[in-house]
Amino acid sequence: MRPYLLLTPGPLTTSESVKQAMMSDWCTWDEDYNIGIVEVIRKELTELASSRSEEYTSVLMQGSGSFCVEATLGSVIRENDKLLVVANGAYGKRMGTISEYYHINYELMGFEETQAVNPEKVDAYLTEHPEVTHVSVVHCETTTGVLNPLKEIAQVVKKHNKTFIVDAMSSFGGVPIDMYELGIDFMISSANKCIQGVPGFGFIIARRSILEKCKGVARSLALDLYEQWDTMEKGHGKWRFTSPTHVVRAFMQAITELKEEGGIAARHVRYTENHKVLVEGMRELGFKTLLPDSEQSPVITSFYYPDSSFNFKDFYEKLKNKGFVIYPGKISQADTFRIGNIGDVYPDDFRKLVAAIKEIQAVK
């Protein structure tokens, strides 16, 4: 069932049992599905995300992760509001692009892609710009793998009393986050990242008291977060439009497996070990990481090309033939490629990967 391991940060390698969970058909309006699956997932998500889950609620949304980011920005920020987008990579910039499409009043505060967001600069901006009402940031910028200092940014945002929106797409489920403790109001992720489901929908975990007041704010029908939530809430797990039933069932299995593994803390330990085995092995082979260790997430790692004659396409094909699919780089300032550490993959897989890379390098 596995022609190769996906060492890409979503879609990623899933377990056989997650794939098997898709082998039956579900009726979207039957209680077996709504109450038996969707409502269970919604509750589990708030419990995984917050130590005070009763203050939070969750909404599942068809599409990929970006659909959920767009649904959130487009359904929460009003005409007279102002959004500060803090960006140090492609996904942060995408929130700026969404703001353009929706004519949201926003400011994009840009940082180098190879640098973590500096909370002091956010603090200074918010002090000078009291008209800002919302702040959004990406937790793990998958562009490079940098892990932004969420706790310090959250402290600044809360000090200024702003609504805080976090794209935790590639970190939620793999890096511990407590929305309640940090004061996060909206957190967005998707099925095919650290929870280790398959692609097809994303989800938003929201502070209930804020989402409740968002009726009529959205400028999109399909991406109206409030209406999607209201239908799910009143219909006990009913989706407004056709839901990706098989994918949702697989996701429930993935949550069960997350809990069996020991929860997010245990998964974080495994991803960290994956990352460590990878980086130590690659450094032994002479590869250098793009980021300093202090800014690096355990989610995905960027490596410089080893020399100017390095041919990524050739390297990619050879590795694929050995059973590993990796990711090209995504930044303009340097030639890099990326290797994901998340999914149903283990330290031993990374030992085998490093051995495969060693063989490829030796043949040259």
Ligand X SMILES: *Cc1c(COP(=O)(O)O)cnc(C)c1O
Q: Give me the least distance between CB of 215 and ligand X, in Å please.
A: 26
Closest separation in Å from C-beta 357 to ligand X: 24
| Cα dihedral sign, 230-236-242-247 | positive
- For ligand X, the closer of residues 48 and 354 by Cβ is 48
**Separation in Å, CA 188 to CA 60, 254, 276:** 10, 18, 27
- Residue 243 tokens, joined: 């839901």
Closer residue to ligand X (CB): 37 or 140:
140
Closest Cα to residue 267, out of 38, 42, 51, 12?
A: 12
> What is the SS3 assignment for 9-31?
CCCCCCCHHHHHCCCCCCCCCCH
In whole angstroms, the minimum distance from the beta carbon of 37 to ligand X comes to 22
Q: How far is CA 173 from CA 138, 312, 342, in A?
A: 15, 31, 10
Pick 21 or 69: Cβ nearer ligand X: 69
Six-digit token string for 81 = 């509001």
The minimum distance between CB 277 and ligand X, in angstroms, equals 22
The minimum distance between CB 96 and ligand X, in angstroms, equals 13
Smallest separation (angstroms) from ligand X to the CB of 338: 11
Q: How far is the CB of 64 from ligand X (least distance, A)?
A: 3
d(CA 289, CA 265): 25
User: Of 92 and 119, which CB lies nearer to ligand X in the complex structure?
Assistant: 92
The number of residues in the chain equals 364
* Nearer of residues 88 and 245 to ligand X, judged by Cβ: 88
Read off φ and ψ for residue 87, nearest 5 degrees: -130, 130
Looking at beta carbons only, is 137 or 255 nearer to ligand X? 137
Q: How far is the CB of 165 from ligand X (least distance, A)?
A: 12
| Closer by beta carbon to ligand X, 138 or else 339 | 138
Report the residue closest to ligand X, judged by CB. Answer: 65
From residue 359, alpha-carbon distances to 29, 312, 324, 346 in Å are 53, 16, 13, 20
Q: How far apart are CA 345 and CA 274, in angstroms?
A: 8
Using CB under 6 A as the criterion, which residues of the chain lie in contact with ligand X when the complex forms? 9-10, 64-66, 91, 138, 142, 167, 169-170, 190
- One-letter amino acid at 53 equals S
53/64 with CB nearer ligand X: 64
Token pair listed for 260: 């069996």
Which of 235, 221, 229, 171 has its CA nearest to residue 204? 229
Instruction: Return the number of the residue (58 or 66) whose C-beta is nearest ligand X.
Output: 66
Nearer to ligand X, 39 or 113 (CB): 113
Please give the Cα distance from 39 to 238 (Å, whole number): 9
Nearest to 286, CA basis, from 303, 272, 309, 273: 303
CB of 356 to ligand X, least distance (A): 25
Closest distance to ligand X from the beta carbon of 138 (Å): 5
Q: Round to whole Å and give the CA distance between 77 and 100.
A: 13
* Amino acid identity, position 212: E
Q: How far apart are CA 69 and CA 238, in angstroms?
A: 21
